[in-house]
Amino acid sequence: MNSLSKFVLIPLSLLGVSACAVQYPTASDLLDVTSIVELPEELSETSGSFCDVDGIYSLNDSGNEPTIYQISYQGDITKRTRLPLTNKDWEAITADKSSFYIADVGNNKGKREKVEVHKVSRNNLNEITTFTLKYAGNNANSNIPYAHDFDSEAMVKHGDDLLLFSKSWKTGITHIYKVNEGEAEQTISPFGFIEGLPGVVTGVDFDQHQGRFVITGYKSDPFGNFSTFIAQVTQDYVLLNIWPLEQYKQVEGVCVDSNGTYWFSEEATEGRKASLSSAQVVSK
Report the pLDDT value the prediction gives residue 111, as an integer from 0 to 100.
Answer: 97
Percentage of the chain beyond pLDDT 90 is 86
Q: Which amino acid is at 15?
A: L
Residue 85 near residue 68 (C-beta atoms within 8 A) = no
What residue spans define the domains of the chain?
3-283
Report the pLDDT value the prediction gives residue 23, as an integer from 0 to 100.
Answer: 67
CA distance 282 to 88: 39
Q: What is the pLDDT of residues 90-117, one digit of tens each?
A: 999 999 999 999 999 999 999 999 999 9
The pTM assigned to this predicted structure is 0.91
Dihedral angle, C-alpha 82, 87, 92, 97, nearest 10 °: -40
Q: Calculate the alpha carbon distances from 162 to 23, 106, 196, 226 in Å.
A: 32, 17, 23, 29
Write the class of the CATH domain 3-283.
mainly beta
Q: Which residues of the chain are under the pLDDT cut of 70?
A: 1-23
Q: What is the pLDDT of residues 249-260, one digit of tens each?
A: 999 999 999 999
Total Cβ atoms within 10 A of residue 116: 18
Total Cβ atoms within 10 A of residue 86: 10
Report the pLDDT value the prediction gives residue 6, as an integer from 0 to 100.
Answer: 43
Phi and psi torsions of 248, nearest 5°: -110, 165
